[in-house]
Structure 1
Amino acid sequence: MNENQRNIISSTVPVLREGGLALTSHFYKRLFLHHPELKNSFNMGNQKSGKQQQALAMAVLAYAEHIANPGVLLPELERIGHKHVSLDIRPEHYPIVGNHLLASIKEVLGDAATPEILEAWELAYQELADLMIKLEAKMYQDQSSLPGGWTGWRPFVVSKKVDESEEITSFYLKPSDGGKVVRHIPGQFISLKVFLPDLGLNQARQYSLSNVPNDNEYRISVKRENDSRLNINGMISNHLHDRIEEGGIVNLSAPAGSFTLVEPLNRPLTLISGGVGVTPLLSMLETMAASTLTHPLTWVHACRNKSVHAFRKPVQQLASSHTLIEQHVFYDAVDAQDKKEGIKEGPMDLEKLPPLREDSRFYICGPAGFIKAQHAALLEMGFPQESIFFEEFGPQTIHLN
């Protein structure tokens, strides 16, 4: 792209701010009309909720805003690349998306989409596609080169199901070929794909790995969704609870994700979770506890009550057996026994804790509102932005950094 074309892309920023969601909504409708088979690759739950359209609109806007120096978006592009690799997105998918994105720009903007604007966006998209293809090629290569590694979808056997609370069940997954698995990095996720008969579609969803890395198996811990207005993501989770028994087969992609501990681990850690957001942080906690822990680790968790408090006893045991691990728990409502055990009444309030260590790194995972609240609280308490990390399940719609 030349400078004039980059200026043209910059000139479309106000339009994208105002109508980006309309553009991406039109794009997805058009894409699935012409390529219905892609419904098996996209998360239709996120389509129905609008989260995917919103996430794409924000990503397109960010790219346009930084078209003069797209390198500043590299961390975000890497995060997207991890999602793509986990869903087996390949180079041949990019021209399909590009064709329908450009057609959508023309159809939504009408006469405002001049030949010059369309040409500039075609070149801009191709530059972005080339960057993503190169980035994802390295990720695929890294996955396949590791011991036990693979790319694409691999069948796994559910070797064991364990209830962790009234809502959350752990699924232990071993390769059906009896082989080894890639050791994940604590905080990473896998994509799990199943066929949903009610939709007639294959659907994939990301689940954080909740166990200590090893060569033999993975563990995911899945929340049953009880909302009567069940969305497609909930259908996948409940399909696992209700229809996948021990001995059943599911397809997994290799571990991916960038929500991992920053090296070197030479500072205190504070792990803050809400509800099922405990899963990636539990992998971090148990891995750190199994190694030589040299700095304080503070565990802070919030949920409704003890009946839905997953991994309560394992975390209590770790906290009682490691002098450097400190635990704090909030319940929405507490009873006399909870108070005796030191459970605090929620919602989570970090100000109620002993002073948090000023040189700590913070890792937050939970519902979007929970993440925003804890992030804001930490900033208000004076902790620097660069010390706070978070993971939002699904397409990223939170931009706090």
Structure 2
Amino acid sequence: MVKPLESGTPAIVKATIPALEAHGVTITRTMYASLMRDPAIAAMFNQTDQANGRQPHALAAAVLAYARHIEHPEKLEAALSLIVERHVAVMVKPEQYPVVGAALLGAIKTVLGEAATPEIMHAWGDAYRFLADVLIAREASVYDERSALPGGWRDWRAFRVEKRVQESDSVTSFWLAPVDGKPVLRHEPGQFLTFRLERDGINTRRSYSISSAPDASGYRISVKRDPQGLVSRWFHDRLAVGDVLDVTPPAGDFTLASIGKAPAMLVSAGIGITPFLSMLLASKGGAEDGKRHLVHGDHDLHHMPFRSALAELATAESAPKIDVFSTLGQDRHLAMPTHEGRVSAEWVFARMSPDTHVFVCGPRSFQRDLIGGLSRLGVDRARIHHEFFGSDEGVA
């Protein structure tokens, strides 16, 4: 059972909000600089997001939100669920929480100096302890639940690359099957796999969405090559049929399960299509197909990955709606409507019903424009779901 916060903690933590607003990013940068000295901890973080400052900014915002809502943590439920999914994916262990806590408290003391009084340090220590206990308990529950499901497992499991398929000039799919030959957990479409890579000068964890329909025999992931991306280049250049990878169970809550039978528009750009392809393949020929509308943007439709799979889906009985956009113009050979230009919030909004949910996946700039545009048009943020993919070039 999680021990409650001490009675004086919330007030003291809330009193530090102005300091967090002014110095939060400096604190998180200082914290990460300390953590990155431990290779085991560093391997759990995307080093690109460390280098470009995205992770320190994201954590600073999360710490500030926690301080603001420390008396009502239920308001952070969506954020906590996402954190749990990410922690479970990279196999965060309970014994790692004190290491992170010491780094955070040390950074607060370093940055704030004398302003970080003993009372403040004690309160933040208690606040971190409480949050860590909540996360540890929830993560333990998820580990137990997924290992108990048919085909489920705990910790890392060895998978062999059974097949490579070149989907386009820059996208390759990898079909994975468990080395032990036993069934695997049928994933919820939209979930991802996380890989432990410790070879060829790489020591990291990296996640990729599952692009296949749920299957008890294995999974498919599809990776876009980034000329500057160490991991994606390794997948393309080094990973061969027969090679073995360590993999965690499917994770993530970017799924259709949360909306029940409500209609959904799946809006993607570039490699962001992968979770939506899994969703459409899973529902192929089902009653829900008519409530699914894929809107996808790609630079060149002639070299678009999954071109034949989308055409097959578009012509199937009870087919979902599929519209594709390209800045290079229409392709009248595709068995679905094609449009010149970019996907816009206005175009999507015009085709929504009052109960439609919008799922967005693609480059960050694409998502910012689309989500911001839909919000300005009056779409409730509770009906907008998103999953960030890679860099602003749409590379995972």
The correspondence of residues 12-161 of structure 1 with structure 2, limited to 5 A, is 12-33=16-37, 35-161=38-164
In structure 1, stretches of 5+ residues that fail to align are: 396-401
| Equivalent position SS for 2:343 | coil
- The offset of 1:310, in angstroms, is 1.3
The aligned residue for residue 216 of structure 1 is 217
Moved more, 158-167 or 353-362: 353-362
Q: Aligned equivalents of 1:350 and 1:22: distance in 2?
A: 35
The aligned residue for residue 206 of structure 2 is 205
| Equivalent position SS for 1:277 | helix
- The offset of 1:349, in angstroms, is 2.3
Cα 1:263–1:16 shift into 2, 3 Å: closer
The correspondence of residues 1-400 of structure 1 with structure 2, limited to 5 A, is 1-33=5-37, 35-197=38-200, 200-226=201-227, 230=228, 234-263=229-258, 265-293=260-288, 295-334=290-329, 337=332, 342-352=337-347, 355-393=351-389
Q: Aligned equivalents of 2:204 and 2:252: distance in 1?
A: 19
Moved more, 101-110 or 369-378: 369-378
Cα 1:38–1:264 shift into 2, 3 Å: closer
Q: Aligned equivalents of 1:341 and 1:298: distance in 2?
A: 12
- Identical-pair percentage: 38
- The offset of 1:351, in angstroms, is 3.4
Q: Aligned equivalents of 2:224 and 2:354: distance in 1?
A: 34
TM score, norm. by length of structure 2: 0.92
> What letter matches 1:173 in structure 2?
L
Cα 1:355–1:45 shift into 2, 3 Å: closer
Are the aligned partners of 1:168 and 1:308 in contact in 2 as well (CA < 8 Å)?
A: no
Q: Aligned equivalents of 1:340 and 1:70: distance in 2?
A: 49
In structure 2, stretches of 5+ residues that fail to align are: 392-396
- Indicate the RMSD between aligned Cα atoms, in angstroms: 2.1
- The offset of 1:348, in angstroms, is 1.2
Moved more, 67-76 or 350-359: 350-359
> What letter matches 1:375 in structure 2?
I
| Equivalent position SS for 1:254 | coil
TM score, norm. by length of structure 1: 0.91
> What letter matches 2:36 in structure 1?
F
Q: Deviations over 1:141-192 (max 9, x none)?
A: 0111011111221111000011111111110000111111111101111101
Q: Deviations over 1:193-233 (max 9, x none)?
A: 22242xx342111101111111001110000113xxx2xxx
Q: Aligned equivalents of 1:276 and 1:141: distance in 2?
A: 32
Q: Aligned equivalents of 2:76 and 2:15: distance in 1?
A: 19
Q: Aligned equivalents of 1:312 and 1:167: distance in 2?
A: 14
Query: Which of the pair has the greater relative contact order for Cα pairs under 8 Å at 6+ separation?
Result: 1
